[in-house]
Amino acid sequence: MLSRLTIVICLLASLFLIAAADAPQRLPRENLLVFRDDSGVAAPVKTKADWEKRRASIVAAFESIAGKLPGPEKRCDLEMTVLEEIDRGSYVLRRIEYSSEPGGRVPAYLTIPKSVLADSKIRVPAVLCLHPTDNAVGNGVVVGLGGKANRQYASELAERGFVTLSPSYPLLAKYQPDIKALGWESGTLKAIWDNIRGLDLLDSLPSVQPGNYAAIGHSLGGHNSVYTAVFDDRVKVIVSSCGLDSYLDYYGGVESVWMPEKGWCQTRYLPRLAAYRGRLAEIPYDFHELVGALAPRHVFIAAPLKDSNFRHESVDRVVAAARPVYELLGVPDRLEVAHPDCEHDFPDAMREKAYALIERVLKGEPSAPGR
């Protein structure tokens, strides 16, 4: 005969299976113009208000994996400290630290045009420059302090007259915060918070036009730009180079890259994704939804034809799914994808295209080197 404990376990398992069967399935990643109405029934998105409900569900799904974005309890005085200043001709490069949370100091590079420093009445737009994976120089790569070529976008934007801020990414190079002790459920959410507080820092600077920003990044910096902008609408332009494709297509969906501490599932990224190994279609959000959630802002995605990390065909499917949201909001031209004929890189032509977009949106004028 079955023991009473065995019977109870079987009953609980049955109840769990019934609840799982009754739980609504995730809304389709390929069709963003569907939302759940107040009764929980899937319905077509017909209005902006309908879309906002779908968007809220996307954010909630992302937070179910990354952790919930904190509120005032994590805010503190920024207490920026300048550790070093380097003359770069038309601008100064400052190595700084700021407090993003109690007990958490973020290393970063800040560039400020000399023309702005010379006139306290001038305010210019700023760009959040998020670095790719680099475990040697970290954020130094985007200000030309080593690392691979074609990553110096913070330096190049500084030469065009922008203030730029380039925070370090947690658990890379010399930035090694104890994210578990600080209460973070993922390195990704910690990075998003550091970036949001970085925008707060830019808001506080007398040389910066507050609330008027772009975010640009390659690879890790590319998806970090998307994540940050989903949560902070001060970012008006989002540039992602080699930064994304669908989870379904990541390295062909092979299970080995979805093991704990592999690929997306590393502590520094989104460790909870490891639970979806072998059932990637059930991940509650994808980049289709995240790119859609950026609308109606300007988005430029560079997806090289020979990128072995993120497949350009997958990027096209992501963009195709997101585009109807931009059409619904009346801005179909604000979502753009380009396919340079190269490998996992951010070549000159793509960077220039990105800078031209940032110039046009933030300054209302064409890009010109050396401004």
pLDDT in tens, 254-273: 999 999 999 999 999 999 99
User: Is 43 inside any structural domain?
Assistant: yes
> Do residues 77 and 51 both lie within one domain?
no
The predicted pLDDT at position 156 comes to 98
User: Is 21 inside any structural domain?
Assistant: no
> Do residues 46 and 158 both lie within one domain?
no
The predicted pLDDT at position 15 comes to 34
HSE, CB side, 13 Å, CA atoms: give it for residue 67.
Answer: 22
Looking only at the bridges linking them, the beta strands covering 335-338 and 235-241 are unpaired
> Do residues 43 and 178 both lie within one domain?
no
> Do residues 55 and 189 both lie within one domain?
no
Alpha-carbon span 229 to 238, nearest angstrom: 7
User: Is 256 inside any structural domain?
Assistant: yes
Amino acid of residue 341: D
pLDDT higher than threshold 60 for residue 9: no
Q: What is the span of the domain harbouring residue 334?
A: 72-362
Distance of CA 215 to the CA centre of its chain: 8
The predicted pLDDT at position 364 comes to 85
Q: pLDDT band at 12, cuts 50/70/90?
A: very low
> Do residues 221 and 271 both lie within one domain?
yes
User: Is 5 inside any structural domain?
Assistant: no
135 CB contacts (<8 Å, ≥6 apart)?
Answer: 172, 173
Q: What is the dihedral of CA 283, 284, 287, 293, to 10 degrees?
A: -170
Residue 340 · residue 304 · CB < 8 Å: yes
> Do residues 47 and 173 both lie within one domain?
no
The predicted pLDDT at position 253 comes to 87
How far apart, in Å, are the Cα atoms of 348 and each of 149, 275, 329, 337? Answer: 10, 39, 32, 16
User: Is 217 inside any structural domain?
Assistant: yes
- Number of domains making up the chain: 2
The predicted pLDDT at position 3 comes to 52
> Do residues 109 and 183 both lie within one domain?
yes
* CATH assignment at residue 83: 3.40.50.1820
Name the average pLDDT for the chain: 92
Q: pLDDT band at 2, cuts 50/70/90?
A: very low
> Do residues 109 and 247 both lie within one domain?
yes
141 CB contacts (<8 Å, ≥6 apart)?
Answer: 131, 132, 134, 147, 148, 151, 152
> Do residues 146 and 53 both lie within one domain?
no
Residue 219 · residue 241 · CB < 8 Å: yes
What tokens appear for 319 in the block? 């963009």
> The pTM is what?
0.91
User: Is 282 inside any structural domain?
Assistant: yes
Closest by alpha carbon to 101, among 81, 74, 80, 79?
A: 74
> Do residues 86 and 169 both lie within one domain?
yes
> Do residues 54 and 193 both lie within one domain?
no
Alpha-carbon span 98 to 108, nearest angstrom: 8
68 CB contacts (<8 Å, ≥6 apart)?
Answer: none
Per residue in 128-186, pLDDT (tens digit) is 999 999 999 999 999 999 999 999 999 999 999 999 999 999 999 999 999 999 999 99
> Do residues 137 and 164 both lie within one domain?
yes
User: Is 326 inside any structural domain?
Assistant: yes
The predicted pLDDT at position 365 comes to 61
241 CB contacts (<8 Å, ≥6 apart)?
Answer: 216, 217, 218, 219, 221, 222, 301, 302, 346, 350, 354
User: Is 189 inside any structural domain?
Assistant: yes
Q: Which residues pair with 108 in a beta bridge?
A: 96, 167
- Which helix (DSSP H) or strand (DSSP E) does residue 300 occupy? strand 298-302
